[in-house]
A = this chain, B = another copy of it.
Amino acid sequence: MESAFAIIAEPNRRTILSLLASSERSVGEIERRLRMPQTSVSKHLRVLREAGFVEARVDAQRRVYRLRPESLREVDAWLAPFRRFWTTHVDRLERHLDRMEQAARKGTKR
């Protein structure tokens, strides 16, 4: 289970991620909202956790999972070169502004 792409290839995992995008959830909540067996949820969460997509907070007997979005940036970054295919001149302006913003922040980053 190397790449981020392999992780999100699984539909249930994508659903879990989407659910966590709105707010953090316990395993039981995920289980009920997505109507999938608990062991399956736990397994997918483990994969997501080990790949850095989510992290868990302990709350008594519960584990509350929340998103860790950095991993998805890899996917976003790979996608970047393709975006020019479906963007128009309007988005060109946007990219231009993005670059200017980045340049402006260069000195203060990290």
Instruction: State whether A81 touches B18 (Cβ < 8 A).
Output: yes
Given contacts A72-B79, A79-B79, contact A110 B86 (CB under 8 A): no
- Does A58 lie at the interface of the complex (its beta carbon under 8 Å from any beta carbon of B)? no
**A90, closest chain B residue (CB):** B69
Q: Which of B3, B75, B85, B98 sits near A110, CB closer than 8 Å?
A: B98
Instruction: State whether A86 touches B73 (Cβ < 8 A).
Output: yes
* Interface members, chain A 13-45 (any B CB < 8 Å): 14, 17-18, 21
* Interface members, chain A 79-98 (any B CB < 8 Å): 79, 81-83, 85-86, 89-90, 94-95, 98
Additional A-B contacts beyond A21-B85, A70-B90, A98-B110 (4; CB < 8 A): A21-B81, A69-B86, A75-B75, A75-B79
